[in-house]
């Protein structure tokens, strides 16, 4: 952990320290989807990142040392979904665990005969309800290149955190009214069903594979997280396939954004 982050963590109760200019500039260069945003967004994002770092605790796993570079890179990507919503959406947890690469999680499942099967699953990240977020630094560091494919593990896991604010992740964040929930599902459900159909056609019958990560077809919560990855890091390409979702996400994540002409 380098000097700037140590200083920041030592002054949690004071105003968050400004991120040093060279560190912020190198972060924007490494992740173009952050750099290619309006100047006002940069100012707001930098402020949020400083606040985020002042109130979260990073832990490196398997000998990984949390440097300023690692902490700021993760924080900048994590703050992108709440840029216009505020950090209150992340106030139900503090810990972020960073592994050098993919991690193995122990799982168990019970089949129809009642037999319990134990297995290990390789994960790039995981978000626990009320608990920490776990991330693979290898995949976080590659986010600049992976944006072309709409992938971003940090955004994926932190969108799960947003989704979980009203309980278990179900593909719908907390909304202000019943009418808002109805409007959300009226757009998300047909998009999810159409995507699942496209994935099934590609896997079973050799149809055209979707651009969006097919992992989104495993559950509505995963579709929401996968769609948000692409929306934030490759908006133009995402909108080609999911124009209605872009409009829906704009209304939630950027409620003051002017409507597209």
User: In the prediction, which pLDDT does 1 show?
Assistant: 46
- Asked if 49 and 76 count as a contact pair (C-beta separation under 8 A), the reply is yes
CATH numbers and ranges of domains, the chain: 1-154 (1.10.472.150), 170-261 (3.40.390.10)
> Where is mean pLDDT largest: 37-51, 118-132, 246-260?
37-51
Q: Which residues pair with 133 in a beta bridge?
A: 96, 127
Residues of the chain with pLDDT > 70: what percent?
Answer: 84
User: In the prediction, which pLDDT does 133 show?
Assistant: 96
Cα separation of 150 and 232, whole Å? 8
Q: Could you tell me the CA-to-CA distances from 148 to 48, 124, 144, 239 in Å, in that order?
A: 25, 18, 8, 13
- 228 CB burial (10 A radius; 0-12, 13-18, 19+): buried
Q: Phi then psi for 106, rounded to 5 degrees?
A: -80, 130
How confident is the model over 133-181, as pLDDT tens digits?
999 999 999 999 999 999 999 999 999 999 999 888 999 999 999 999 9
Spell out the residues 6+ positions from residue 79 whose beta carbon is closer than 8 angstroms to its own: 45, 48, 49, 52, 87
Mean pLDDT, residues 57-84 taken together: 97
**Confidence at 105, pLDDT banded by 50, 70, 90:** low
- Asked if 147 and 234 count as a contact pair (C-beta separation under 8 A), the reply is yes
**Confidence at 107, pLDDT banded by 50, 70, 90:** low
Q: Which of 39-48, 120-129, 206-215 shows the lowest mean pLDDT across its residues?
A: 120-129
DSSP assignment of 61-127: STT----HHHHHHHHHHHHSTTTTT-GGGGTT--EEEEESS-EEEEEEEE-TTS-EEEEEEEESEEE
Question: How high is the mean pLDDT of the chain?
Answer: 89
How confident is the model over 73-85, as pLDDT tens digits?
999 999 999 999 9
Q: Which residues pair with 105 in a beta bridge?
A: 121
**Confidence at 122, pLDDT banded by 50, 70, 90:** low
Helices (H), 10-63: 21-30, 32-35, 39-55
């Amino acid at each position: 952990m380098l000097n700037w982050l140590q200083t920041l963590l030592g002054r949690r109760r004071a105003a968050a320290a400004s991120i040093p200019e060279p560190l912020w500039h190198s972060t924007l260069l490494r992740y173009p989807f952050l750099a290619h945003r309006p100047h006002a967004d940069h100012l707001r994002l930098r402020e949020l990142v400083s606040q985020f770092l002042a109130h979260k605790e990073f832990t490196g796993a398997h000998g990984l040392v949390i440097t300023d570079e690692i902490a700021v890179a993760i924080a900048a990507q994590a703050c992108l979904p709440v840029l216009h919503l505020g950090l209150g959406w992340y106030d139900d947890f503090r810990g972020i665990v960073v592994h050098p690469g993919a991690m193995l999680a122990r799982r168990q499942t019970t089949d129809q005969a009642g037999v319990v099967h134990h297995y290990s699953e390789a994960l790039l990240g995981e978000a626990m309800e009320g608990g920490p977020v776990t991330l693979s630094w290898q995949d976080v560091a590659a986010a600049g290149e992976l944006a072309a494919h709409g992938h971003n593990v940090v955004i994926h896991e932190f969108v799960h955190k947003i989704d979980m604010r009203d309980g278990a992740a179900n593909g719908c964040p907390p909304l202000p009214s019943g009418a808002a929930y109805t409007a959300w599902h009226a757009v998300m459900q047909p998009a999810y069903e159409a995507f699942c159909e496209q994935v099934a056609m590609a896997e079973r019958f050799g149809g055209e594979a979707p651009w969006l990560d097919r992992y989104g077809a495993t559950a509505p919560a995963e579709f929401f997280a996968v769609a948000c990855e692409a929306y934030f890091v490759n908006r133009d390409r995402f909108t080609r396939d999911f124009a209605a979702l872009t409009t829906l996400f704009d209304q939630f994540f950027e409620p003051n954004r002017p409507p597209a002409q």
